Amino acid sequence: MAISTVNPGLRRAAKGPRRNLAPLWLLSPAGIVLLAVLVAPIIYLVVTSFTDYDQRTLYTGAYDSVGIANYLSLFTDPDFWWSLIRTVLFTAAMVAGSIVIGTGVSHLLTRLSTVMRYVVTIVLIFAWGMPNVASSLVWKWLFQPGYGVMNWFLTQLHVFGDMTNVDWSNNAFLSYASIWMLIVWQAVPFIALTLYAAETQIPTELKEAVRLDGASEWGVYKTITLTFLKPTLLLVTILSVIWDYNVFNQIWLVSQGGPDDATSTLGVFTFTTAFVGFHLGQGAAISVVTTLILLILTVFYIRNLIRSGEDL
């Protein structure tokens, strides 16, 4: 009888690498949690959007399938389209303001002394760490008619006249202005600190070389700094779009979508439809459409982010 002299290790190698299941076992607890808190609610949301789930269902548990009736009703509702337009425009304004101011603050941090840089960083962290519900309520108090600090300050400037009794929440433009300032104030710290961390990694010799070629400081910033910051800028932009697109707390606490639904974005429109009018099936349909729109925007930005990383 012939005895095989082939090494068992070589025999296994010939069959191919053995798959190690240890990483899958280590990731399984996190995967189960994600399925429970993310995937399952999304599935339930989609299923609910095809039903007439309403206030009666909350008490009896009874509901009927309505097919795509909720979506047809939604796409023929002018209030939905107006809220979508307001959301897109307001998101663009908030993202633009946050990115521009955050970029300026991040560059300012590179020019400050060590002590001042630490002071500004601590202030930014405190502003970023404040809960948005608490900051929204304080913000609303600042603009209250009669005793609001901002109204008093603007009156003292003698530029806008007497602003003491102006109610910002009863004016569409002023409501947007106050909410815009609040959200930009909350967003700037993260953007500024993230861009500052990226800017400190730019090789200084590249900047010096451009300066030796006669470029101004703006030329150095535009040619070198912004080029290296492009991937980070795209990253904070996509995050800002996601956050600002879903803004609800600040708008609801400051103006509750008023006056006359002038500040009713998709978040407010969804809330009032589902939890004020108790049309939960319709509210679920709005949420599904909102998520799909945001997913499309996210895919677009991620594709550009990957391309920008490959170009560097």
For residue 23, cis peptide bond before it (omega within 30 degrees of 0):
no
pLDDT tens per residue across span 173-230: 999 999 999 999 999 999 999 999 999 888 888 888 888 888 788 888 888 888 888 8
User: 93: exposed, middle or buried (C-beta count within 10 Å: 0-12, 13-18, 19+)?
Assistant: middle
Q: Give the count of beta carbons closer than 10 Å to the beta carbon of residue 23.
A: 9
Q: How many residues does the chain have?
A: 312
Q: Answer yes or no: is pLDDT of 170 > 90.
A: no
51 phi, psi to nearest 5 deg: -125, 170
Listed in sequence order, the residues at least 6 apart from 33 whose beta carbon sits closer than 8 Å to its beta carbon are: none
Lookup result for tokens 């599904």: 288
Within 13 A of 125's CA, how many CA atoms are on the CB side? 6
Q: Which CATH architecture has domain 93-277?
A: Orthogonal Bundle (1.10)
Angle at 280 between CA 244 and CA 64, to 5 degrees: 145
Helix axes 78-111, 172-199, angle to 10 degrees: 40
At residue 20, does pLDDT exceed 70?
yes
Q: What is the pLDDT of residue 17?
A: 55
Each residue's pLDDT tens digit, 278-297? 888 999 999 999 989 888 87
At 146 the pLDDT is 85
Mean pLDDT, to the nearest integer, of 304-309?
66
**Residue 256, Ramachandran bin (φ over 0: left; ψ between -120 and 50: alpha; else beta):** left
Q: What percent of the chain has pLDDT over 70?
A: 92
**pLDDT at residue 291, as a whole number:** 87
Percent of the chain having pLDDT more than 90?
37
User: Cβ distance 152 to 164 under 8 Å?
Assistant: yes
Instruction: Please compute the mean of the pLDDT values over residues 119-137 and round it to a whole number.
Output: 91
Residue pLDDT, tens place only, 23-66:
888 888 888 888 888 888 888 889 999 998 888 887 887 888 88
Residue 65's DSSP bridge partners are 51
Angle CA(288)–CA(289)–CA(291) in degrees, nearest 5?
Answer: 65
As given in the structure block, the two tokens for residue 274 are 């589902």
